[in-house]
Structure 1
Amino acid sequence: MSSDQIKLGVGAAELTVDAGNGCRISSLVIDGTEVLRQGDKYGCFPMVPWCGRVENGQFRDGGVKHQLPLNSPPHAIHGTGRDHAWHTARVSDTEAVFTYELAEPWPYTGRVTQIFELTPDALTVRMGVETYDNSFPAQVGWHPWFVREIDGSRVGLAFDAAWQEERGDDHLPTGRRIEPLPGPWDDCFGMPDGVDVTLTWPGRLELKVTSPGEWVVIYDEQAEAVCVEPQSGPPNGLNTLPRLVTPIEPLELATTWSWRRL
C-alpha cells in the first residue's frame, strides 16, 4: 500500500482512502465483504466545488461569467477535487482528515477539508469549503459506486422523496418538480427532511445513506453498481441555486453510511 493509501479499521469494518487519487474512498470492507465497486469507476469520490453537470461548463458569479473545462461534453461534471492529490492532515485508527487547496481551473482560492470517522457499524464523512478571500458559489457531495450484488444477492433501493427534478434531454433539471417516477434513474430527488436512502442486499446486508442535506442523485443505469449521491444542491446548482461560500460562512455537509448484517 502506498503512502497515499490511508487505512482505518475498527471491529469488522475496514476503510481505505486514497489521498493521492482525489481523496477517494477506494474500499469499504464490512465483515470481509467489499461494498464498493472495484476496477473502473470505483469506490466513492468527493464532488467539489460543484456536483453533477454545469450547463455548457459555464456559471455566473454576479456579472462575471466563468468557463469550466468540458469534461463531459457539452457540460462540466462532478467538480475538480477528484482530479488532485489531497494533503493528509491527521490520521488515527478510526479517523482521518485531508485537505485540498482549490486551484485552476476553478477560478477562486480556498480550502476543502474532508473528515472520515469510522465506527464498527457506520462511516461518517464531513466536507467543508472555506474561502481565503472573495465569496464564491460552490457545492459539495459524494459519488459512491455501491456493488450491485453481494454473494449473488441483488441490491434493492428504498427511499421516499418529496419530489423529483424533471430531467431534460440534456440531462439537466428543467426547473420543474414532478412526482417521483420509477427507475431506472439518473435523477435528482428532493428530501427536505434530509437524505435517507436504504440499500438492501437480501439476506446479506442493509446499508443506509443519510445526510442533513436535502438533495440526492440516484444513478442505477449500470449493471455493476448503483450510486446514491448526497449533495448540497441540485445538478447545475451553480446557476440555478447558488450557495455562496463567504469568509464568515463556509459550506459544510456530512453524510453517514450505517449498516447491519441480515
Structure 2
Amino acid sequence: MTPTLLELEDHLTHLTLAPELGASIVNWTVRSTGQPLLRHSDSQALNTGLPGKLGCYPLAPWSNRISEGGFDCPEGWLALTPNSLTDPLPIHGSAWQQPWRIVSQGRNEAVLELDCTTPFAYRARQRFHLSEGRLSIELQVTHLGEHAAWHGLGLHPYFPRTASTRLQAQARQVWLCDSAKLPTELSPLPAEWDFQQLKDLPHTLVDNGFCEWDGHCLIQQPELGYELECQATGSDYYLLYCPVSLGFFCIEPVSHPVNAHHLPGRPGLRLLEQGQSTALGFSLQYRELG
C-alpha cells in the first residue's frame, strides 16, 4: 500500500516526506527543473516500505551498529536483537522502523513525532523547514523511561553520485574497521580520505566514521549543476559510506562513533534521565552552479 505523503515547498525546492515510513524524506528536488538534491526515490522504492531505499531517515536512539547483543545501562544490561535483514547486528536504532504522527504541517514546515517503547521508552521529534533553498532538519529525543539510558542520534541522507561529485568535510582522524564493520583503531587520515579540501570521492569502498568534525561539509555536483553547503550541530562525527559502482553516497551527521556503547568513555553518547533530551541538527543549502 502506498504510504501517505506530505509535501513542503519554498520558491526554490520541493520536499516530500513519508511519516509512516520512519518519518523519512522521500525526495528533495529543485522546483524549476525537477533535479534531485537527494538520491531520487521512484514509486518502486517507495512501495518497498523501506526507509533505506528513500532519501533520508532518522537514527535514534543510536546510530549504526552495536555489538555484543546489547549494552550496559545504570540499571543493568539492555539486550538488543538484530533489526535488519541486511545486517547481523542491531543497527540505526528503532525510530526509522516506526510510523510517526503528524504534529503540524504548513506550506514550508512540518513537525513529526514518535512515541516508542523499543528498546526503551522515548519520544522523538523531527522538524523539517524549507526557506530560500535551505532544508533544515532538527531531530530531538526525550527519554521517557523510568531508568536512565544511553542515547545517540544521527541522520542518514543519500546523495546522488556522478564521476565528478566532490566533497569537502574536515576531520582529524578516522576509525578503521574489521570485517563486521565495527571500529578497531583510530588512525590519521589516509590521503585518499582527507577531505580538508574539495576532492573526488574514493573509487574503493569507504564505510567508516570520521572524528573531530567541525560540522561543515560541501558537496559539489558539477555534472548536475549545483552544490549543497551543509552544517550540522550536535554532531562531532560523520560516517562516510561510498559503495563501489552505485549512483549514491552517504555522509551522515552523527553524535557518536559506531559501537560507541562499547568504546572507552562511550564517546558522544548521552546518559538521559526521564524527561531529559538531546538534539541534532542538519541544514543543507542548495545553490545553482554557474
TM-score by length of 1: 0.90
Q: 1:238 aligns with which of 241, 261, 267?
A: 261
1:129 and 2:131 matched: no
Structure-2 separation of matches of 1:205 and 1:191: 27
Q: Give the conservation status (yes or no) of the 8 Å contact 2:10–2:133.
A: no
Q: Give the conservation status (yes or no) of the 8 Å contact 2:7–2:14.
A: yes
Correspondence for 2:188? 179
The alpha carbon displacement at 1:76 in A equals 0.9
Paired amino acid for 1:163? Q
Q: Give the conservation status (yes or no) of the 8 Å contact 2:8–2:14.
A: yes
Q: 1:190 aligns with which of 180, 205, 211?
A: 211
**Cα deviation digits, residues 177-197 of structure 1 (max 9, x gap):** 2112224411110134x3222
Structure with bigger strand share is 1
Gaps of 5+ in 2: 46-52, 193-201
Correspondence for 1:34? 36
The alpha carbon displacement at 1:63 in A equals 5.5
1:211 and 2:247 matched: no
Aligned 1:132-171 pairs, distance under 5 A? 132=144, 133-149=146-162, 154-171=164-181
Q: Give the conservation status (yes or no) of the 8 Å contact 1:208–1:257.
A: yes
Paired amino acid for 1:201? Q
Structure-2 separation of matches of 1:232 and 1:124: 17
The alpha carbon displacement at 1:258 in A equals 1.1
Q: 1:93 aligns with which of 92, 102, 107?
A: 107
The alpha carbon displacement at 1:249 in A equals 3.4
The alpha carbon displacement at 1:56 in A equals 3.8
- In structure 1, the residue corresponding to 2:102 is in which secondary structure? strand
Structure-2 separation of matches of 1:79 and 1:68: 10
Structure-2 separation of matches of 1:52 and 1:93: 33
> What percent identity do the matched residue pairs reach?
23
Tell me whether 241-250 or 9-18 shows the greater mean CA deviation: 241-250
The alpha carbon displacement at 1:77 in A equals 0.9
| Shift in CA distance, 3/173, structure 1 to aligned 2, threshold 3 Å | closer
The alpha carbon displacement at 1:4 in A equals 2.9
Paired amino acid for 2:212? M
Gaps of 5+ in 1: none
Paired amino acid for 1:140? L
Aligned 1:16-55 pairs, distance under 5 A? 16-30=16-30, 31=32, 32-37=34-39, 38-39=41-42, 40=45, 41-55=53-67
Q: Give the conservation status (yes or no) of the 8 Å contact 1:21–1:85.
A: yes
Correspondence for 1:247? 274
RMSD (Å), alpha carbons: 2.0
The alpha carbon displacement at 1:68 in A equals 1.7
Structure-1 separation of matches of 2:210 and 2:65: 15
Q: Give the conservation status (yes or no) of the 8 Å contact 2:141–2:279.
A: yes
Q: Give the conservation status (yes or no) of the 8 Å contact 2:22–2:95.
A: yes
Count, aligned residues:
255
Aligned 1:94-109 pairs, distance under 5 A? 94-104=108-118, 106=119, 108-109=120-121
Correspondence for 2:247? 224
| Shift in CA distance, 135/63, structure 1 to aligned 2, threshold 3 Å | closer
Q: Give the conservation status (yes or no) of the 8 Å contact 1:50–1:238.
A: no
Paired amino acid for 2:114? Y
**Cα deviation digits, residues 7-41 of structure 1 (max 9, x gap):** 11001210111001100000100242112222542
- In structure 2, the residue corresponding to 1:76 is in which secondary structure? coil
The alpha carbon displacement at 1:75 in A equals 1.1
Paired amino acid for 1:216? Y
